[in-house]
Every structure is written in C-alpha cells, then in structure tokens.
Amino acid sequence: MYSDILDQVTTKPELDTLVGEIDMYRDNMYRSGKEPVREVLVKYKDELDKLRQAALDLPVVRLTLALTPPGNWILEIRNWVIKAVGEVVVLDMAVDKSILGGAIVENAGKYGDYSLRKMIYNLKFTI
C-alpha cells in the first residue's frame, strides 16, 4: 500500500528520518492555528500511523564494509540484497577497515562473514 514511499527508504538513517517526520507531522496536526475538520485529521492520523508501522516493519539488514560506499553503490548493494533476501530491506551500514574487503552480513538472526580478513585467516591455517 505504501510501497512507493517505502521503496525510497534505502538506509537505516533514512528510515529513522521518515519515522521522525511522521511523528513530527502527527504531533503538529492539531496545532495548525486553523480549525480543520476533525474527520479529515483522524483519517490522516490513521494513514500516518499505518505508514509509520509499515516503515518500522521493514526488515533491516546489517552490513559491515571495509569502506564507505559512494551513493550509487548503496543502491546497487541494496538491489543485490533485495534479490538475495526476496523482499524490500533497509540497510544498516557500518564501516570497519579491519575486515580489509568484502562484507559481514547480519539478517534475521543469521550471520555471514564474507570478509577478506576471514578468508586470509582461513587460508593461513589451511597452509
């Protein structure tokens, strides 16, 4: 129902901003100075509550990278994750230079370390 809005939310900070703006708008609805029709406000409040809940229900995938990706990479990474997971997700991204390359992915209680650091570590002990 709100897919056109939620599809534009790519990262956790964007999700937090959207929820904050919804909360701010809801809190200020009755303080507009004008006397709007109550039924209209109740309708918008209900729609905003549904949008807020739909945003909070989006699955969040934690992604740790060795570098901060440029903006266009973030969209590519998100599209790849959506294909892998099979649903729209929000990326909670962190940078840890010690992983050297690759990524560490956490989603729905699952953890995958696809970092270069781990590959080198495993290679060191197999030789």
User: Quick one: pLDDT at residue 10?
Assistant: 93
What is the C-alpha R_g of the chain? 20
Read off the DSSP letter of residue 81. Answer: H
Assess whether pLDDT exceeds 60 at residue 91: yes
- pTM reported for the whole predicted model: 0.79
Strand-pair partners of 110: 107
User: Which of 40 and 4 is assigned the larger pLDDT?
Assistant: 4
The SS3 assignment for 34 reads coil
Cα 127 from Cα 124, distance rounded (Å): 6
| The predicted structure's pLDDT at residue 35 | 56
Q: Is 90 a residue whose pLDDT tops 60?
A: yes
Residue entry with tokens 């945003």: 55
Whether residue 28 is predicted with pLDDT greater than 90 in this model: the reply is no
pLDDT at 76 over 70: yes
